[in-house]
Structure 1
Amino acid sequence: MTSELDRAWVLIGLDRLDAAREQSALVLAGQPDNPDALAIMAYVTHKSGQYERAAEYAGSALAQDPTYEFAWRVKALATLELARAATPGAERDRLYAQAESFARGAVDNGPEQAENHRVMALVLRDTNPAAALEVLDHALELDPEDVNVHVARAVVLRYQLRDFDGADAALNTALQLDPEHAAALHELALNDIDLNRPESAKRRLHLAAQLDPRRGADVREALNWLAADQARRRADHNDVARPVPAHSSATPAAPAKNLGWVLWGVIVLIGLLVRAVWGASDSDSPRDSPTSRYPAPTIIQIPSQLRNPPTFRVPNFPTRTPNWSNFPRSTQIGIPPTPR
Structure 2
Amino acid sequence: MTSVEDALTTADAYLAVDRTDRAAQILTAALAEHPDHADLLTELSRAQLRMGAPELAMYTAHSALRVAPGCTAAMRMYALALSGIDEHEAAAQVAYRAVVSEPNDYLTHYTYAIVLAAGWQYQTALLCVEEALRLQPASADVHFQRGLILQKLGRIGESDAAYAEALRLDPDHSAAMHNMALNGLKRGRWTTALSGFLGAARMDPKLGDLVRGNVGAALRMPLRWTTLAGVVVCFFAGTIVAGSREAQQVPYRLAGAASLLGLIVLLGWVFRAARIIPRRAWPAVLKRRPMLVLRILVSVASVAVAIPANLGVQTMTLQASAVVLLVLGLIITIIGWKEGS
User: Given the two structures, how large is their TM-score scaled by the length of structure 1?
Assistant: 0.66
Q: Counterpart in 2 of 1:304?
A: none
Is 1:80 equivalent to 2:73 in the alignment?
no
Q: Which of the numbers 143, 146, 166 marks the counterpart of 2:139?
A: 146
* CA displacement at 1:253 relative to structure 2: 5.8
Q: Please give the residue correspondences for 1:7-156 in structure 2 after superposition, counting only pairs within 5 Å.
A: 7-83=10-86, 95-125=87-117, 126-156=119-149
Gaps of 5+ in 2: 246-325
Q: Please give the residue correspondences for 1:271-310 in structure 2 after superposition, counting only pairs within 5 Å.
A: none
* CA displacement at 1:14 relative to structure 2: 2.4
Gaps of 5+ in 1: 84-94, 256-312, 328-340
Contact kept, 8 Å, 2:114 with 2:145, in 1: the verdict is yes
Structure with higher helix content: 2
Q: Counterpart in 1 of 2:6?
A: 3
Amino acid at match of 1:127: W
Write the deviation string for residues 287-325 of structure 1: whole angstroms up to 9, x where unpaired. Answer: xxxxxxxxxxxxxxxxxxxxxxxxxx9996x98xx8696
Amino acid at match of 1:146: S
Is 1:172 equivalent to 2:164 in the alignment?
yes
Percent identity for Structure 1 against Structure 2: 29
Look at both structures and tell me which one has the larger radius of gyration over its CA atoms: 1
SS at structure 2 position matched to 1:49: coil
User: Given the two structures, how large is their TM-score scaled by the length of structure 2?
Assistant: 0.66
| Aligned pairs, number | 254
Write the deviation string for residues 106-142 of structure 1: whole angstroms up to 9, x where unpaired. Answer: 2122211222212111211233211111212222222
Taking the aligned partners of 1:324 and 1:212, their CA distance within structure 2 comes to 33
Is 1:208 equivalent to 2:206 in the alignment?
no
Taking the aligned partners of 1:324 and 1:70, their CA distance within structure 2 comes to 46
Aligned pair in 2 of structure 1 residues 248, 70: CA closer, same or farther (>3 Å)? farther
Q: What's the C-alpha RMSD, in Å, of the aligned pairs?
A: 3.1
Q: Which of the numbers 213, 231, 235 marks the counterpart of 1:221?
A: 213
Taking the aligned partners of 1:36 and 1:323, their CA distance within structure 2 comes to 52
Taking the aligned partners of 1:173 and 1:144, their CA distance within structure 2 comes to 10
Write the deviation string for residues 8-31 of structure 1: whole angstroms up to 9, x where unpaired. Answer: 122222222222121111111111
Taking the aligned partners of 2:57 and 2:36, their CA distance within structure 1 comes to 16
* CA displacement at 1:59 relative to structure 2: 0.9
* CA displacement at 1:240 relative to structure 2: 3.8
Amino acid at match of 2:169: L
Amino acid at match of 1:210: R
